[in-house]
Amino acid sequence: MKTFSTAVQNIINQNQINFFFLVDLDFNTHYRLSSLPYDVDYNGNTYTANSALLEVDSPKFSSVVDRESYRVVIAEDDSNTFKAEIDDNVVGKGIEVRIGFLDSNDEPILSPVSDVLLAYKGFVDSPSIQNNFESKIITFEGTSPMSDLDMVIPFIGSRDGIKQKSSNDTSFENLYGDSVIKLKWGKI
């Protein structure tokens, strides 16, 4: 069971909870974004509030095995920073999303570090760009923990196929067109 400081436990027990997101995008450059209207320091890192972070999916709890993905939506500025990252291929790069709480004075509770919850940790699966000439919206969709269920890994059962894996493997040496093996079937 997760334990919290007294301050966070009191916030959780209230009817209304004010929270914020801290997002790490570990691309070619490491980006740290905050949903707060000001920059914030957490765990030795500064998370910027440049209003780029538009939407973050809420954590989803499910009682069945599913393949739901996780989305982080960002408004692109004129520098085209995230478009350049997509062009350099961000698929497989890391995303981490944390949720923090605001106290009664709307100040973020950042210490102890364990009071900020890790909501998602995964990898970019499919980035997308929507451009309507007034704004450019970037969506980074993170992989589901069950995304590997769709993975297909072909394997060629031939002498040349196994040599691509290991040149020293001789397990398929007798698998070729002219090889005949006679087996006795049934009772002997």
Tell me if 161 is assigned to some domain.
no
**Residue 164 belongs to some domain of the structure:** no
pLDDT band, residue 78 (cuts 50/70/90): confident
Q: Binning pLDDT at 50, 70 and 90, where does residue 64 land?
A: low
Does 14 map to a domain?
yes
Is 116 within the bounds of a domain? Answer: yes
Query: What pTM, to 2 d.p., does this model score?
Result: 0.69
Mean predicted confidence (pLDDT) in 111-126: 85
The answer as to whether 180 is a domain residue is no
- Which domain range does residue 97 map to? 6-150
Above 70 in pLDDT, residue 155?
no
Task: Tell me what the mean pLDDT of segment 2-20 comes to.
Answer: 80
Whether the pLDDT of residue 162 is over 90: the answer is no
Residue 100's Cβ-count burial label (10 Å; 0-12, 13-18, 19+) is: buried
Residue 166 in any domain: the answer is no
Rounded distance between C-alpha atoms, residue 113 and residue 5, angstroms: 10
**Domain count along the chain:** 1
Q: Look at residue 158 and tell me if it is in a domain.
A: no
- Cα distance between residue 72 and residue 23, in whole Å: 9
In a domain, 92, yes or no: yes
What are the structure tokens assigned to 172, written together? Answer: 């398929």
